């Protein structure tokens, strides 16, 4: 079959038309891939950065960890899924037996394997995945929107990690890539009073404004803007660092009120400097990090918001390309683009 693979631990991808597909084994399903979404991690894998190498993927391997499709075969022992089911995928395969998995925090499982890194992924016509990572997609959600649920789930998890209830709160989002935009959009849907998005790219600032956020370029004025909006509260209630850019934590912390919360989502390539005493301790700041999605309450809440129409995902799709144009898709990620999909049916 046609697939986009990582052939070796080095820069670049490879497009193949003869990539093997196997029958699903026990506990697995075979899926016709409808759409697969690219994200910043795919760009890191393409460039083979130190961050990508830290994932310790197993080349040669078919890439792609965000996507959706239709089940066409099930392996022995699979329950709850059948041929014809429309599904999206949780990309993290938790072991199910460690302390974290047994105590409700499987999203931090130290034995996690990742679809498209440690097993063949979704940049392909078909994929065999464990049934445990499949999520049924209701009829009210298109398969293209379903391909974005994994990425949007990161934004959903970030908001849950900030306390979950942002209604009536002031929210700051640094970075208007897809996850940042999803975070801002979900915050708006949940009733945030004001959402400010900081982003250097004018195209992405326009995308943030289209969902009702206030979009501004980075700079010292961000702290002043947040304090002006917050008035006597002294700063914003919650902040989300989604860019992974070095040097932004200080201004973001200064934009928060006392007892505010900051959630880190992006992965910086270098250590961040923090003034623990003045910026965190003396102001009672809560600093939290997230990775992936909580299993499975993040998915349940997000499916409810998307299925009911409170959160629309398809608006962020700007490009649809065939598998053979994966290199072009990677280039789009750093330009004027929202979500870029690889669609196997395009040829």
* Span 136-192, pLDDT tens digits: 999 999 999 999 999 999 999 999 999 888 999 999 999 999 999 999 999 999 999
Is the residue at 305 inside a domain? Answer: no
Q: Are residues 247 and 179 in the same domain?
A: yes
Q: Are residues 23 and 138 in the same domain?
A: yes
Share of the chain above pLDDT 70, in %: 100
Q: What total number of domains does the chain contain? A: 2
Q: Are residues 50 and 12 in the same domain?
A: yes
Rounded to the nearest 5 degrees, what angle is found at the Cα of 135, between the Cα atoms of 130 and 139?
Answer: 140
Q: Are residues 225 and 123 in the same domain?
A: no
Q: Are residues 103 and 143 in the same domain?
A: yes
Q: Are residues 283 and 320 in the same domain?
A: no
Q: State how far the Cα of 155 lies from the Cα of 306, in Å rounded to an integer.
A: 13
> pLDDT per residue over 117-128, tens digit each?
999 999 999 999
Q: What is the pLDDT of residue 89?
A: 97
Is the residue at 297 inside a domain? Answer: no
Q: Are residues 208 and 161 in the same domain?
A: yes
Q: Domain of 173: which CATH number?
A: 3.40.50.720
Parent domain of 15: 3-148+313-346
Q: Are residues 83 and 53 in the same domain?
A: yes
Q: Are residues 140 and 15 in the same domain?
A: yes
Q: Are residues 183 and 260 in the same domain?
A: yes
Sorting pLDDT into bands at 50, 70 and 90, what band is 231? very high
Rg value, the chain, Cα: 20
Is the residue at 161 inside a domain? Answer: yes
Sorting pLDDT into bands at 50, 70 and 90, what band is 111? very high
Is the residue at 209 inside a domain? Answer: yes
Does the predicted TM-score (pTM) go above 0.85? yes
Q: State how far the Cα of 308 lies from the Cα of 337, in Å rounded to an integer.
A: 26
Q: Are residues 278 and 161 in the same domain?
A: yes
Q: Using an 8 Å Cβ cutoff, are 299 and 90 in contact?
A: yes
Q: What is the pLDDT of residue 241?
A: 96
Sorting pLDDT into bands at 50, 70 and 90, what band is 334? confident
Q: 203: phi > 0 → left, psi -120 to 50 → alpha, else beta; which?
A: alpha
- Kind and range of the H or E run holding 15: strand 14-16
Q: Are residues 114 and 225 in the same domain?
A: no
Is the residue at 304 inside a domain? Answer: no
Q: What is the pLDDT of residue 246?
A: 84
Residue found under tokens 């947040």: 226
């Amino acid at each position: 079959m046609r697939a986009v693979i990582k052939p070796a631990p080095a820069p670049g991808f490879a497009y193949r038309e003869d990539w093997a597909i196997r029958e699903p084994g026990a506990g697995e399903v075979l899926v016709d891939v409808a759409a697969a979404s690219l994200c910043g991690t795919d760009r890191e894998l393409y460039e083979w950065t130190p961050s990508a190498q830290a994932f310790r993927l197993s080349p040669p391997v078919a890439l792609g960890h965000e996507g959706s499709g239709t089940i066409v075969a099930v392996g022995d022992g699979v329950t709850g899924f059948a041929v014809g089911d429309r599904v999206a995928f949780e990309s993290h395969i938790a072991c199910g037996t460690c302390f974290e998995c047994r105590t409700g925090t499987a999203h931090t499982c130290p034995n996690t394997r990742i679809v498209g890194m440690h097993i063949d992924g979704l940049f392909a016509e078909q994929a065999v995945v464990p049934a445990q990572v499949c999520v049924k997609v209701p009829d009210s959600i298109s398969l293209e929107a379903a391909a974005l649920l994994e990425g949007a789930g990161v934004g959903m998890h970030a908001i849950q990690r900030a306390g979950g209830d942002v209604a009536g709160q002031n929210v700051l989002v640094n970075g208007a890539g897809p996850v940042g935009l999803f975070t801002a959009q979900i915050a708006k849907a949940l009733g945030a009073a004001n959402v400010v998005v900081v982003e250097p790219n004018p195209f992405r600032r326009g995308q943030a404004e289209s969902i009702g956020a206030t979009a501004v370029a980075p700079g010292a004025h961000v702290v002043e803007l947040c304090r002006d909006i917050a008035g006597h509260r002294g700063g914003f209630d919650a902040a989300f660092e989604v860019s992974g850019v070095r040097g932004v934590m200080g201004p973001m912390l200064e934009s928060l009120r006392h007892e505010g919360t900051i959630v880190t989502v992006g992965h910086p390539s270098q250590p961040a400097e923090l003034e623990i005493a003045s910026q965190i301790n003396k102001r009672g700041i809560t600093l939290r990090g997230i990775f992936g999605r909580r299993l499975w309450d993040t998915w349940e809440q997000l499916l409810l918001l998307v299925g009911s129409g409170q959160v629309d995902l398809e608006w962020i799709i700007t490009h649809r390309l065939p598998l053979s144009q994966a290199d072009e898709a990677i280039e789009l990620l750093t330009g004027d683009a929202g979500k870029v999909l690889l669609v196997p049916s395009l040829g």
